[in-house]
Chains A and B, each alone.
Chain A
């Protein structure tokens, strides 16, 4: 007699290979951003070679930049700025946007109208232009960059989470909770939020990509992270002189940006159904 065990319940998420690769690359850059100062082969400001815009060699894996500094070290440290600033800005934008969106959806009325109109108006300013104007006015310290990027992408996050929350808010279990006498705070934290968290995570990834692109664009124009520090966009700008010769110093930072943004897209498109469709 065979004794069949009940099939074990699966707790893990199933993700296809493309999504896994995306997740692995993102994880790689996050780890690099954290441990960069420990693993750089040369100090980032140090001019290590008289050969500027040098080719790939055993000593300098990614070549040297326009001053003869080691490119590998600069890219590893650049991850700190690109990933760090973008992540901080994306968290800030999503947190503000989602909170406001949930509150607007559950409170409704005049509060909802005012906040929706205001954020829509903010959204009608083209993002790169917004960045340029703020940087012109307030300079480009890292705090200003994070805040600017967060402000630019808050309206999108608000709209998305408000649309989701309005649907949840109309459901029976929310009506029941209200009838029980639960306050707005409880409704938001216990009823609405757990039901929109999946799509919100996917939206967060998308917003992160937009922010990386905008930050790189600003830095590329020389208006983002300022020397001697450099994020990947600034690294491309610094070494533009090497472009006509196809120097690795221009190509590798570009590849770094693309690898990050494309892998986030890959991950979002292949998120496990259990996360993506949790609201349904």
Chain B
């Protein structure tokens, strides 16, 4: 890696860190600037003024907001995430196992859908203009232009109601055997997979077609190379950078999808925890979950940027 590429990558990471700070600022002040006294709410109407004052002091509510922001930021960095308002449990222990569940769901979805999406995108570009290409394009446009929950409802209607292959909206904890495990994960993974694949297919197809339009691909075609050879040997290696970029970008759609999918299928992950926390207005929990999501999102975007930089030979070799 050359100097200029390294500098660009560092710049991207710097921008990411700055964005994360701004997100933290927005999240903190959106959730802290509520009217009303949290200490009073937590202790109830019958609490003595002394008790309220003591709690206010303990929660640093008597300090300026900006100081509390710094305190909260410090807590995040050192792993002191605070206590949930709803059940006074430690936020870290509430999130711990659920983060693992969410990552498992996201991981399985990625492993399943990336190869499928890439194959569909590349073959659609290969047979551009054919019936196959048009069907793939129409399906992706459909998936992109309907809300995520509709994809989930459709999947339930088809696979649980009409075909009866999979259980509908249930997620049980005690599963026995690999097959049952497969059955339970099938629906959420499929829904999420549809949501992120649609973007990936479109971007992959566009990236391959872009390279196919270059003059060296035209030259290869004129020399008599088969269409298949032109796509696989000439276009694809040069489209790899944009494709990797597209994959990382599409994975950031996992985020919106995971919030909806975990809620629909009652999957015990961080997103479900956060949606529940929003309904009960459990601020410390919301803040931590938001930061986890924002960090993941920004990381994926940064990876996409870095891949785009590294895959550009003009930047790499100078």
> In the complex, which residues of chain A have a beta carbon less than 8 angstroms from the beta carbon of B294?
125-126, 129
Q: Which residue of A lies closest to B298 (CB)?
A: A124
Asked if A261 is at the interface (CB within 8 A of a chain B CB), the reply is yes
CB of B145 within 8 A of CB of A258, answer yes
Contact partner of A244 (CB less than 8 A), chosen from B19, B22, B26, B160, is: B160
**Known interface pairs A125-B26, A257-B147. Does A221 touch B161 (Cβ–Cβ under 8 Å)?**
no
Bound CA–CA A187/B101 (angstroms): 56
**Known interface pairs A132-B274, A254-B150. Does A124 touch B169 (Cβ–Cβ under 8 Å)?**
no
> In the complex, which residues of chain A have a beta carbon less than 8 angstroms from the beta carbon of B146?
213, 254, 257-258, 261-262
Asked if B168 is at the interface (CB within 8 A of a chain A CB), the reply is yes
Q: Which residue of A lies closest to B148 (CB)?
A: A217
Among residues 250 to 266 in chain B, which have CB atoms less than 8 Å away from a CB atom of chain A? Answer: 252, 255-256, 259-260, 263-264
Q: Which residue of A lies closest to B253 (CB)?
A: A126
> In the complex, which residues of chain B have a beta carbon less than 8 angstroms from the beta carbon of A134?
30
> In the complex, which residues of chain B have a beta carbon less than 8 angstroms from the beta carbon of A222?
275, 279
Asked if A179 is at the interface (CB within 8 A of a chain B CB), the reply is no
Among residues 114 to 140 in chain A, which have CB atoms less than 8 Å away from a CB atom of chain B? Answer: 121-122, 124-130, 132-138
CB of B150 within 8 A of CB of A258, answer yes
On chain A, which size bracket covers the interface?
35 or more
CB of B145 within 8 A of CB of A217, answer no
On chain B, which size bracket covers the interface?
35 or more
Q: Which residue of B lies closest to A220 (CB)?
A: B149
**Known interface pairs A132-B290, A221-B263. Does A265 touch B141 (Cβ–Cβ under 8 Å)?**
yes
Main SS of the interface on chain B? Answer: helix
CB of A217 within 8 A of CB of B275, answer no
CB of A221 within 8 A of CB of B259, answer yes
CB of A243 within 8 A of CB of B156, answer yes
**Known interface pairs A132-B290, A243-B156. Does A213 touch B301 (Cβ–Cβ under 8 Å)?**
no
Asked if B171 is at the interface (CB within 8 A of a chain A CB), the reply is no
Nearest-neighbour CB distance to chain A for B148, whole angstroms, equals 7
> In the complex, which residues of chain B have a beta carbon less than 8 angstroms from the beta carbon of A220?
147, 149, 260, 263
Asked if B99 is at the interface (CB within 8 A of a chain A CB), the reply is no
> In the complex, which residues of chain B have a beta carbon less than 8 angstroms from the beta carbon of A251?
157
Nearest-neighbour CB distance to chain A for B21, whole angstroms, equals 9
> In the complex, which residues of chain A have a beta carbon less than 8 angstroms from the beta carbon of B31?
133, 136-137
Q: Which residue of A lies closest to B142 (CB)?
A: A262
> In the complex, which residues of chain A have a beta carbon less than 8 angstroms from the beta carbon of B259?
128-129, 132, 217, 221
> In the complex, which residues of chain A have a beta carbon less than 8 angstroms from the beta carbon of B18?
121
> In the complex, which residues of chain A have a beta carbon less than 8 angstroms from the beta carbon of B281?
136
**Known interface pairs A136-B286, A265-B145. Does A223 touch B153 (Cβ–Cβ under 8 Å)?**
no
Contact partner of B145 (CB less than 8 A), chosen from A130, A236, A262, is: A262
CB pairs A–B below 8 angstroms (11 shown): A129-B294, A133-B286, A134-B30, A136-B281, A220-B260, A223-B275, A236-B150, A240-B264, A245-B161, A254-B150, A261-B146
Known: A221-B260, A236-B149. 11 other contacts (CB 8 A): A121-B18, A124-B19, A129-B294, A129-B297, A132-B290, A136-B31, A221-B263, A244-B156, A250-B153, A254-B150, A254-B154
Q: Which residues of B contact A (CB under 8 A)?
A: 18-19, 22-23, 26-27, 30-34, 141-142, 145-150, 153-154, 156-157, 160-162, 168-169, 252, 255-256, 259-260, 263-264, 274-275, 277-279, 281, 283, 286, 290, 293-294, 297-298, 301
